[in-house]
């Protein structure tokens, strides 16, 4: 990080004090920015941030590995004493969580059958060609604990080792770096895409508006920006891997291609969306686009939601000038409309690529909006074609 020369003119202890206040401002609300940017302020801040991350954020990191569409195994951080086999202080152990993952069968992870599938899952995993894992950070904590507001990706676990007990070890600093670096890349790409969509919308409307209405903003985020920003991060990942010994091969499944507007191949698997996410008519594990479609929400990505979270961190207080006010009912309304949009996507998804494109939404009579039916309630959507 290139800092201004003004910092060199200040006493060292004053500079570090200012840096510490800056880190405290972002540490609990934005771990991605803290790790990728503020950790570069100084050698002292780098050491402090890494120590605080291990104490606070590492226990909030979870790993899921998939052995199939209906078999998943979750891992959580476990503080263990350093042994000769794990002399590397950056190597941490994540312990397999004991829970029933298939309620209809009652298959428990402690059973030998489950352990066989676990070995199969890790045998399938390959950082260059097949990533059947999901890495989550801050679930239930980030974005004020709102639904789908945590960091979610399938980034690599450097130094990964599968132990006989079924537990795993990996280098947590490198894993966090990969996860949060791609998160910042997606964030930057998403803001740029959303800004372009807003500019197009404002150019076509004569009203004097600074920003489109919230319901209009939700459209491009849900229809285009959410998957497109992840595609941009994937392309960046592939580009960076070309100089290594094992370049990453970018591959998408039929459902994922549909989600980010790519034409599926003729041999893509047939699936039935009406059976739900973990009951797809296939044996392959879900990829990150399918996981994100179910778990990730675009509401926390929107500026109004981030403003509301900042207000909660200030104890519900607003800025002295009264600007930047966000109301809780606005956030709830956006979640309600996003839920209706998810229902429409589920109903419009084709059973197979050969069935052709999904059904189109039909504009209402005045062509100013779209109506989706959720129970007995009609939800108006401002028409957006990104």
**In the chain, where are the structural domains located?**
6-56, 193-382
Mention every residue, 6+ apart, whose C-beta is less than 8 A from residue 146: 297, 299, 300, 305, 309, 331, 335
Which of the four pLDDT bands, split at 50, 70 and 90, describes residue 116? Answer: confident
Tell me the C-alpha distance between 357 and 351, whole Å. 10
Indicate the pLDDT class of residue 285, thresholds 50, 70 and 90.
confident
Q: Phi and psi dihedrals of 379, rounded to 5?
A: -110, 125
Phi-psi label, residue 256: left if phi above 0, alpha if psi -120 to 50, beta otherwise: alpha
Q: Are 149 and 143 in contact (CB under 8 A)?
A: yes
Q: From residue 321, how far is each of 73, 155, 317, 324, 379 by CA, in Å?
A: 49, 42, 11, 9, 34
Whole-number Å distance between alpha carbons of 54 and 90? 10
Give me the pLDDT at residue 110, please: 54
In sequence order, what are the residues at sequence separation of 6 or more whose Cβ sits closer than 8 angstroms to the Cβ of residue 358?
258, 348, 349, 350
Q: What is the pLDDT of residues 220-249, one digit of tens each?
A: 888 788 888 998 998 899 888 888 878 887
What residue ranges in the chain does DSSP mark as E strands?
Answer: 61-66, 72-78, 91-96, 100-102, 107-108, 133-137, 151-153, 161-162, 168-171, 369-374, 377-382
d(CA 316, CA 149): 19
User: What's the pLDDT at 160?
Assistant: 95
Confidence of residue 113 (pLDDT cuts 50, 70, 90): low
pTM of the model: 0.80
């Amino acid at each position: 990080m290139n800092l201004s020369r003004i910092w060199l003119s200040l006493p060292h202890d004053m500079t570090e004090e200012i840096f510490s206040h800056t880190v405290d401002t972002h540490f609990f609300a934005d771990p991605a920015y803290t790790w990728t940017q503020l950790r570069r302020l100084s050698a002292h801040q780098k050491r402090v941030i890494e120590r605080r991350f291990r104490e606070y954020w590492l226990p909030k990191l979870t790993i899921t590995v998939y052995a199939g569409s209906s078999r998943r195994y979750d891992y959580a951080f476990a503080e263990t004493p350093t042994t000769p086999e794990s002399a590397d202080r950056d190597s941490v152990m994540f312990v397999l969580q004991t829970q029933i993952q298939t309620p209809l069968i009652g298959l428990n992870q402690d059973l030998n059958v489950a352990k066989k599938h676990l070995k199969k899952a890790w045998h399938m995993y390959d950082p260059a060609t097949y990533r059947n894992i999901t890495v989550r950070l801050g679930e239930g904590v980030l974005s004020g604990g709102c639904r789908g507001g945590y960091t979610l990706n399938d980034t690599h676990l450097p130094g990964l080792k599968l132990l006989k007990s079924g537990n795993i070890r990996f280098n947590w600093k490198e894993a966090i770096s990969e996860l949060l670096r791609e998160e910042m890349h997606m964030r930057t790409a998403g803001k740029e895409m959303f800004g372009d969509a807003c500019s197009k919308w404002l150019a076509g409307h004569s009203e004097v508006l600074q920003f489109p209405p919230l319901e209009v903003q939700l459209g491009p985020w849900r229809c285009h920006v959410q998957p497109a920003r992840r595609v941009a991060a994937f392309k960046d990942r592939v580009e960076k891997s070309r100089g290594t010994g094992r370049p990453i091969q970018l591959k998408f499944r039929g459902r994922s291609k549909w989600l980010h507007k790519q034409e599926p191949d003729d041999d893509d698997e047939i699936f039935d969306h009406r059976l739900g996410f973990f009951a797809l008519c296939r044996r392959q594990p879900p990829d990150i686009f399918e996981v994100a479609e179910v778990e990730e929400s675009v509401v926390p990505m929107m500026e109004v939601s981030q403003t509301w979270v900042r207000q909660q961190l200030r104890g519900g207080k607003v800025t002295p000038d009264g600007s930047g006010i966000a109301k809780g009912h606005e956030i709830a309304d956006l979640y309600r409309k996003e839920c209706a949009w998810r229902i429409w996507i589920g109903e419009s998804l084709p059973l197979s690529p050969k069935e052709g494109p999904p059904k189109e939404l039909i504009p209402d009579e005045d062509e100013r909006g779209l109506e989706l039916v959720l129970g007995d309630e009609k939800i108006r959507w401002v028409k957006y074609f990104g």
